[in-house]
């Protein structure tokens, strides 16, 4: 009998040599006459252990990592095929505290199954949500999603059920489901992990959305920097179609849902939903005026549900286990779980899916293990490049949309980037403005011109030129951008800038300190 070995195939593991490790294990097994079968799974999200190799033993899977090619002979010597002791052994995978303490609903299968095996997906609870949806009607499906409390995981946290209801209630000859897989926020990778580690959960979520609102076509807009996601989705879509889970007769129901992948051209603004729609239509990614909402007139002017990958991938479990099951997790108006991404200067970077309500401190220290450099964590930026910088005094804030909004921060897509005490917050503020200047679509003046002027003003402050006057000017400029920009790129870039000045005035010189006090 052959021993099953799991070696991840996602971008993160490939970038640190997973293919070479898989090849080395195959060669060494042949040399030693050991029968092994290798499954290329998704990453478990314990990135500091990648490539993490798991061996299936009668007592469960045993994890070893990070494994390099050079470690392979010694792993065989240590009888790792039987779960033997080795310096890279971490015990049973499920018992690694980082994983054991998580509440994985959306990521329930990631790392466990073979991402492209439809049978494996079905054996682990897949397609049950779609079957329930096909046995139900549109209004009932939308009600389940509404009752679950699911809010958009792409950034704005808008209730998914309300968006779906608008599309359901708008009559048209054609409706669309669009998945936003542009994942442009700094420190975020949960969309990529789902697309590469469990693509069927996204396909199932989109098919359910189509059945719910009466949309027969869907598009997944993936950033071009994710070639492995594009390849995994293309293969999974072909297999799902062959299996009757997509196409013109979903599971014999007579209902149709076709799905295609589209590659983005590489612009942060194409993650903004209306720019994304422009780009999907083959035009330059420019923000559209709202109204009309995409739910009324979206892709090609037709009613369109546009949701983030994680939002859509959270739907199958809601339709499978019911709205109350999902709603039971979380706090306040933030229901369910959030796949949080720990990045930046952090010892244990990776993915943590937990119910809303745990604090930043728990995430940074209990999961993250503190900074990678061992120095104190001075600041974190949550929610991407438009999120405020949060000082240590705010680390006890619970992960909750409203709690974050109350202190001027945002949860966004759940990416947390940590910085130690060597960070220069004036340079970070400058970077925020510079990023906006580079990525601005150029449609409105406060963003297009304001961000460039913002960089110049910060440079003058840091150089000590008329500090007091320039700090006032910067505040004025931020105010104009917040109130005068058409979309959140220009409208929220001031938040990291203002928070950097407010909480870290010492990095901007004496005048900033006096003003913040």
The 8-class DSSP code of residue 301 comes to: G
Q: Minimum distance from CB of 306 to ligand SF4 (Å)?
A: 17
Query: Which residues, 244 to 273, sit near ligand FMN by CB under 6 A?
Result: 268-269, 271-273
Provide, rounded to whole angstroms, the least separation between the CB of residue 426 and ligand SF4: 23
Please report whether residue 488 would count as binding ligand FMN according to CB under 6 A. yes
Of positions 212, 306, 423, 462, contacts ligand FMN by CB under 6 A: 306
Are 56 and 3 in contact, with CB atoms under 8 Å apart?
yes
Q: Which of residues 179-198 bind ligand FMN (CB under 6 A)?
A: 180, 182-184
Q: Is 296 in the site for ligand FMN (CB under 6 A)?
A: no
Report the residue from 27, 135, 156, 238 that binds ligand FMN according to the rule CB under 6 A.
156
**Which CB atom, from 73 or from 292, has the smaller least distance to ligand SF4?**
292
Cβ distance to ligand FMN smaller for residue 66 or 330? 330
Question: Which of ligand FMN, ligand SF4, none interacts with 442 (beta carbon under 5 to 8 A by kind)?
Answer: ligand SF4
Residue 314 lies near ligand FMN (rule: CB under 6 A)? no
Q: Is 160 or 269 the residue whose CB approaches ligand SF4 more closely?
A: 269
Distance of CA 102 to the CA centre of its chain: 16
Q: Considering the complex, what minimum distance in angstroms separates the CB of residue 281 from ligand SF4? A: 17
Sign of CA dihedral 26, 28, 30, 36: negative
Tokens standing for residue 121:
């997906």
Please tell me the chain's helix, strand, coil percentages from 3-state DSSP, rounded to the nearest 5.
45, 15, 35
Q: What is the 3-state secondary structure (H, E, C) of 96-127?
A: CHHHHCCCCCCCCCCCCCCCCCHHHHHHCCCC
238 binds ligand FMN (CB under 6 A): no
Name the site residues for ligand SF4 (rule: CB under 6 A). 269, 287, 440-444, 447-448, 485-487, 489-490
Query: Can you tell me the distance from the alpha carbon of 508 to that of 464, in angstroms, rounded to the nearest whole number?
Result: 9
Q: Which of 489, 497, 501, 512 binds ligand FMN (CB under 6 A)?
A: 489
**Rounded distance between C-alpha atoms, residue 119 and residue 8, angstroms:** 19
Is 154 a binder of ligand FMN (CB under 6 A)? yes
State the nearest-atom distance from the C-beta of 491 to ligand FMN, in Å. Answer: 8
Tell which residue, 88, 90, 89, 129, has the closest CA to residue 108. 129
Of 86, 104, 153, 335, the residue at the interface with ligand FMN (CB under 6 A) is: 153
- Pairing mode of beta strands 304-308, 330-331: unpaired
The nearest distance, CB 385 to ligand FMN, in angstroms, is 9
- Per rule CB under 6 A, is residue 308 in the interface with ligand FMN? yes
Between CA 2 and CA 185 the distance in angstroms is 42
Neighbour count for residue 393 (Cβ, 10 Å): 9
In whole angstroms, the minimum distance from the beta carbon of 450 to ligand SF4 comes to 9
Dihedral of CA 105/110/111/112: which sign?
Answer: positive
Residue 344 Ramachandran class (φ > 0 left, ψ -120 to 50 alpha, else beta): left
Residue 176 in tokens: 């669309």
Q: How many separate helices (H) and strands (E) can be counted in the chain?
A: 24, 16
158 binds ligand FMN (CB under 6 A): yes
* H-only helix segments in 170-288: 190-197, 199-213, 227-242, 273-280
Told to check if 499 binds ligand FMN by CB under 6 A, we report: no
Q: Is there binding between residue 362 and ligand FMN (CB under 6 A)? A: no
Residue 438 binding ligand FMN, by CB under 6 A: no
Contact residues toward ligand FMN (CB under 6 A) are 152-156, 158, 180, 182-184, 268-269, 271-273, 306-308, 311, 487-489
């Amino acid at each position: 009998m052959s021993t099953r070995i799991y070696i991840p195939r996602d971008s993160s593991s490939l970038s640190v040599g997973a293919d070479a490790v898989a090849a080395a294990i195959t060669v060494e097994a042949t040399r030693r006459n050991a029968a092994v079968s290798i499954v290329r799974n998704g990453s478990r999200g314990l990135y500091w252990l990648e490539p993490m190799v798991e061996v299936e033993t009668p007592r469960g899977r045993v994890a070893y990592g990070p494994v390099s090619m050079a470690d392979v002979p010694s792993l065989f010597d240590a009888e790792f095929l039987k779960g033997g002791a080795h310096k890279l052994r971490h015990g049973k995978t499920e018992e690694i505290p980082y994983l054991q303490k998580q509440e994985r609903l959306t990521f329930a299968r990631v790392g466990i199954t073979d991402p492209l095996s439809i049978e494996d997906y079905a054996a682990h609870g897949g397609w049950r949500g779609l079957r329930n949806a096909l046995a139900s009607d549109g209004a009932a499906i939308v009600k389940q999603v509404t009752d679950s409390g699911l809010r958009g995981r792409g950034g704005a946290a808008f209730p998914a059920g309300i968006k779906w209801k608008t599309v359901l209630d708008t009559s048209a000859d054609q409706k669309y489901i669009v998945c936003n897989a542009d994942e442009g926020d700094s420190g975020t990778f949960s969309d990529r992990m789902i697309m590469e580690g469990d693509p069927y959960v996204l396909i199932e979520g989109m098919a359910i959305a189509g059945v719910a609102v009466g949309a027969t076509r869907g598009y997944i807009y993936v950033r071009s920097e994710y070639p492995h996601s594009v390849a995994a989705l293309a293969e999974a879509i072909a297999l799902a179609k062959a299996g009757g889970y997509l196409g013109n007769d979903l599971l014999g129901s007579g209902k149709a849902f076709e799905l295609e992948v589209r590659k983005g051209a590489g612009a942060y603004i194409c993650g903004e939903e209306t720019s994304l729609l422009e780009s999907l239509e083959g035009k330059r990614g420019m923000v559209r005026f709202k109204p009309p909402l995409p739910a009324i007139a979206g892709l090609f002017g037709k009613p369109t549900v546009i949701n983030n990958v994680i939002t859509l991938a959270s739907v199958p479990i809601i339709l499978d286990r019911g709205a109350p099951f999902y709603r039971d997790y979380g706090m306040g108006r933030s229901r369910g779980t959030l796949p949080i991404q720990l990045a930046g200067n952090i010892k244990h970077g990776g993915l943590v899916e937990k119910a809303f309500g745990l604090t930043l401190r728990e995430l940074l220290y209990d999961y993250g293990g503190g900074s990678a450099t061992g120095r104190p964590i001075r600041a974190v930026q949550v929610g991407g490049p438009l999120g405020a910088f949060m000082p240590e005094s705010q680390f006890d804030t619970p992960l909750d949309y409203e709690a974050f909004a109350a202190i001027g921060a945002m949860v966004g897509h759940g990416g947390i980037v940590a910085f130690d005490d060597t960070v220069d917050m004036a340079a970070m503020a400058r970077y925020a403005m510079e990023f906006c200047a580079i990525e601005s679509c150029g449609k409105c003046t406060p963003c297009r011109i304001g961000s460039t002027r913002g960089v110049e003003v910060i440079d003058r402050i840091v150089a000590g030129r008329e500090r007091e006057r320039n700090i006032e000017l910067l505040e004025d400029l931020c105010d104009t951008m917040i109130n005068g920009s058409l979309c959140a790129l220009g409208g929220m870039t001031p938040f990291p800038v203002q928070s950097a000045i407010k909480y870290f005035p010492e990095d901007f010189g004496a005048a900033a300190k006096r003003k913040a006090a």
